[in-house]
Amino acid sequence: MNNARLVAKLLIAQLFILTIAGVTLIVTALAFAPGLFAMHLKETGAATTQIERHTREAFLSSMTLALIFASISALLAASLVSWLLARRVARPIEELADAADAVARHEYLAQVPIGGFSTELRRLNESFNRMAGDLANSEVNRQHLLSDLAHELRTPLATIRAYVDALEDGVAPATAKSWDTLRQQIERLERLVSDLKDASAADENAVTMIFSRVDLVDVAQRVTTSFQPRCEIANKKLELTAPNESLWVKGDPQRLEQVLSNLLDNACRHTPSGGEIGVRLASSGSSAVLEVSDSGEGIPSDQLVAIFQRFYQVDRSRQRSDGGSGLGLTIAKAITERHSGRLDVTSPGALGGATFTIRIPKSN
């Protein structure tokens, strides 16, 4: 019905324009044509007053009838063309309106045909389909996020509740170990909240960036130095290999430190005692290359892309009890891409370790 109303409105508008044009044509013709005809007739010199009057009346009558029939024929033909044109214009608009209504009902899979009456309509349909697809993906991600977040919150909250109940009932003594466990679980929740905020900001390109000329060697030295005590306590060897000269890039130093910290944290958590973690910096063409490798459990080849998803675990049967939020790699990849770079990972498989490689354009 909406389509019919739109077609009717377009048709009425076309007919109104055509009617004005027809009336204007008739009035103009009747105003000028008889006088011009009489002038040319006088110039022949063969017409008497009576002949001139009858001839003028005959011309006026014939022209009037011809204009009327011509106008009616033109109006009918134009009406048919206008109706076909109005239908062609109205159909894609109505399809777009129906699809928009579907999206408003949270039916994000709604699509409209790409074809349209004009280039502008085709572009509009393509943009709408992209928007609907993005909304569908966002909805899927939102549902997965809520599900994963509930799963991630369940373990520390259950631990805290169990300890609180045990302490309250006197089942467990209030020892330093009990308080330390509670403190660890609270810190885990705090980290999860902080990382979730950063991950959401990264998805929306809302991470605050203050770009400047940064020495990537200096960034790597600061971060690896901060991780040395942790690795030494866990009996893990951490080694930095970097060029003697500076390696300049355009970026946010704090965010670049965050990327490397997330990669090193991931490496530390997945490298067993006695294992090795390496950080290597090098220049390759127009890019600065930073690699973080470990001798840990490795990553199956079919999961090398999925590990950058939120809360993804290579081994789903394991609980995330090692302190990781499950968002570090997601945040690292998003920040790297904001620096016009890329973050990739390679691994020979189980127990073969993994190597994360960052490539960022160098700055002159």
Q: How far apart are CA 52 and CA 31, in angstroms?
A: 18
3-state secondary structure of 208: coil
Q: What is the pLDDT of residue 319?
A: 46
Q: Is residue 282 a contact partner of residue 269, using CB atoms and an 8 Å limit?
A: no
For the record, the structure tokens of 96 come out as: 């777009």
Give the global pTM: 0.57
Instruction: Please tell me if the domain spanning 148-203 has the same topology as the one spanning 212-361.
Output: no
Q: How far apart are CA 266 and CA 307, in angstroms?
A: 11
Q: What is the pLDDT of residue 302?
A: 83
Q: Is residue 251 a contact partner of residue 245, using CB atoms and an 8 Å limit?
A: no
Q: How far apart are CA 219 and CA 247, in angstroms?
A: 10
Q: What is the pLDDT of residue 164?
A: 85
Q: Is the pLDDT of residue 51 over 50?
A: yes
> Tokens 């130093």 correspond to what residue?
253
The number of C-alpha atoms within 13 Å of 37 and in the hemisphere containing its C-beta is 18
pLDDT tens digit string along 319-358?
Answer: 444 545 577 888 889 889 989 999 999 998 777 889 999 9
DSSP 55-105: HHHHHHHHHHHHHHHHHHHHHHHHHHHHHHHHHHHHHHHHHHHHHHHHHHT
Q: What is the pLDDT of residue 1?
A: 45
pLDDT bucket at 317, cuts 50 / 70 / 90:
very low
CATH 3.30.565.10 for the 212-361 domain, yes or no: yes
Domain boundaries along the sequence of the chain: 2-107, 148-203, 212-361
Q: Please indicate whether residue 134 or residue 318 has the higher confidence score (pLDDT).
A: 134
Sign of CA dihedral 159, 160, 161, 167: positive
pLDDT tens digit string along 1-44?
Answer: 445 565 666 667 767 777 777 777 777 766 766 666 666 666 66
Q: Kindly report which listed range (59-68, 256-265, 355-364) carries the lowest average pLDDT score.
A: 59-68
Q: What is the pLDDT of residue 5?
A: 63
Q: What is the pLDDT of residue 362?
A: 93
Sign of CA dihedral 255, 256, 257, 259: positive
DSSP 237-277: EEEEE--SS--EEEE-HHHHHHHHHHHHHHHHHHS-TT-EE
Q: Phi/psi of residue 359, each to 5°?
A: -125, 120
* % of the chain residues with pLDDT over 90: 24
Over residues 59-78, the mean pLDDT reads 73
Q: Please indicate whether residue 354 or residue 120 has the higher confidence score (pLDDT).
A: 354
In terms of Cα–Cα distance, which of 108, 96, 98 is closest to 135?
A: 108
DSSP 140-197: HHHHHHHHHHHHHHHHHHHHHHHHHHHHHHTSS---HHHHHHHHHHHHHHHHHHHHHH
pLDDT tens digit string along 126-172?
Answer: 887 888 877 777 777 677 666 666 766 776 787 788 878 888 887 77
- The CATH number given to 148-203 is 1.10.287
For the record, the structure tokens of 288 come out as: 């600065």
